[in-house]
Amino acid sequence: MEGKNYEIFEHTADVGVIVKGKSLEEIFENAAYAMFDLMIFADKVDPVGKYRVSINSPTIEDLLVDWLSELLYVFSTELFVMSKFDVHIKKKDEYTLEGICWGEPYSREKHGIKTEIKAVTYHLLKVDPEKGYARILFDI
């Protein structure tokens, strides 16, 4: 995986990633980084601003889709790009994610542009914390 915590796979008109992590939280953090790195050059993002996320979802798969969809929404509406993430997940009646994301306002000159992601999909979605990975497909 060349130093990254994800690998890309192609799928018809979509693009997917297989993300690795030592914990469920790390998988979610790496999934967020991978999504931004598909759209822009995430390694060029300076963590100078913060965005907080709080999400409740019934399943771990729903939580991952909701998490990434929230970050995609922030990028689309506020043009805020992110590259550093701190995620905490708890399970009671449902899953709760509390996250802090660091980034900065998007600049085409600085961050470039790679792939436009329209949505996070449930197609082929798999989250396996025991094996330390998640598979996510994005609609492009």
Domain assignments of the chain as residue spans, ordered by start? 6-139
Stretch (H or E) spanning 129? none
In this prediction, residue 60 has a pLDDT band, given cuts at 50, 70 and 90, of very high
Mean pLDDT rounded to a whole number for the chain: 95
**Model pLDDT, residue 11:** 84
- Rounded CA-CA distance 43/22 in Å is 21
Distances (CA, A) of 108 to 6, 33, 37, 40, 45: 24, 18, 14, 9, 11
Residue 111 above 50 pLDDT?
Answer: yes
DSSP 7-60: EEEEETTEEEEEEE-SSHHHHHHHHHHHHHHHHS-GGG----EEEEEEEEESSH
pLDDT value, residue 1:
35
Taking only the tens place, the pLDDT of each residue in 9-56 is 988 889 999 999 999 999 999 999 999 999 999 999 999 999 999 999
* pLDDT value of position 107: 97
139, 117 Cβ separation under 8 angstroms: yes
CATH classification (class only), 6-139: alpha beta
Tokens of 110: 């600085």
First CA to last CA distance, the chain: 22
pTM: 0.95
pLDDT band for position 2 (cuts 50, 70, 90):
very low
